Structure 1
Amino acid sequence: MHHFRCTLAGVNGVELFLLGRVLMKIGEEALPEPPGGAAKYAGSTRTVLVVASDIAAHPDSAVGEIAARTRLPQSQVSTAVARLREAGSVQTVPDPADRRRMLVRQAVETSERVARVRATGITEALAAALGTDDPARLREVTAALEMLAHALTPTPAAPPRA
């Protein structure tokens, strides 16, 4: 694994981008396997996570709007929305301004699948990425990740009230 500089002044945009990719891969490894096995959804976990993040930040969006913001093909966004709806993470509602169009928002209730994904820890995936299961090292890196998540992750929008 590539070791990144420890001072912010020494990190450039490319290194930050590469770190983000490493963190995404660790996150993907930490996620529990979807129902039906990983092969059923091969290659789409990242797309689903990007779409879920956009829906959290922009509730009541149409698939075309999500596609435009994420720069993903509309077909991939539609597939991701279907997966998220199947998992109970989002719901679709008719657009009051145009009943032919569906809007996507986070589900009001937390499904069993969503609760399971949220409860899954990162210890095993982080240990594999670090190449060590040393508890002190894992605590140190986990604390750094928690600090970054707290400082940089936007607060997700609250689910709409019924």
Structure 2
Amino acid sequence: MTPVQLFLLGRTLMKIGEEALPEPSSPTGAAQRGGTRAALVVLSDVLGHQGTSVSEIAARTGLPQSQVSGAVGRLKETGSFVTAPDPADGRRQLIRTAAEVSERVAEVRTARIDDALSAALGTDDPETLRAVGEALDVLARHLTPEAAGRLRS
């Protein structure tokens, strides 16, 4: 596999993941889409760096600070994050994951990729879906978010 093939595979897998995620809704009940990638990158970063700031997340992830702020706001709105003033600098907020599992987190954790994978593959063939699903399980076991962090070092 070439680096270009791997990059394009990663992009395809991201698209399948985005399609499989349940639509988030705002507090008014209206569906809202957008910023899914940034929110997942920010969530992954905060899981590994509890009590962090927007500027620290931006520095680690390479996302623009405005995109990190927007993602933090959405994740806070869904109950995934809580913030508190930094004792060393009251203007700065420290971000951590919420102690309680929010309704949105529970919904995302139970979502399945079956329909999105079937659509992307263009088949309902159980054998094909099983084989690809097993291959994805192997990749997920070995290529964790921590693996990507080792590349940035």
TM-score range, shorter chain: 0.7 to 0.9
Superposition misfits of 4+ residues, deviation over 3 angstroms: none
Instruction: Give the share of equivalent positions with the same residue, in percent.
Output: 63
Tell me the residue number matched to 1:48.
39
Where structure 2 has 5 or more consecutive residues not aligned to the other structure, the ranges are 147-153
Of 113, 116, 120, which residue of structure 2 is paired with 1:129? Answer: 120
Could you tell me how far 1:96 is from its partner in structure 2? 2.7
- What is the one-letter code of the residue matched to 2:112? G
Q: What's the TM-score, normalizing by structure 1?
A: 0.82
How many residues are matched?
142
Alpha carbon RMSD of aligned pairs, Å? Answer: 1.4
Tell me the residue number matched to 2:8.
18
Q: Aligned to 2:67, what secondary structure does the other structure show? A: helix
The 5 Å alignment of 1:7-156 reads 11-35=1-25, 36-38=30-32, 41=33, 43-154=34-145
1:93 and 1:14 map into 2 onto residues whose CA distance is: 42
Where structure 1 has 5 or more consecutive residues not aligned to the other structure, the ranges are 1-10, 156-162
Q: What's the TM-score, normalizing by structure 2?
A: 0.87
2:18 and 2:61 map into 1 onto residues whose CA distance is: 19
1:21 and 1:13 map into 2 onto residues whose CA distance is: 12
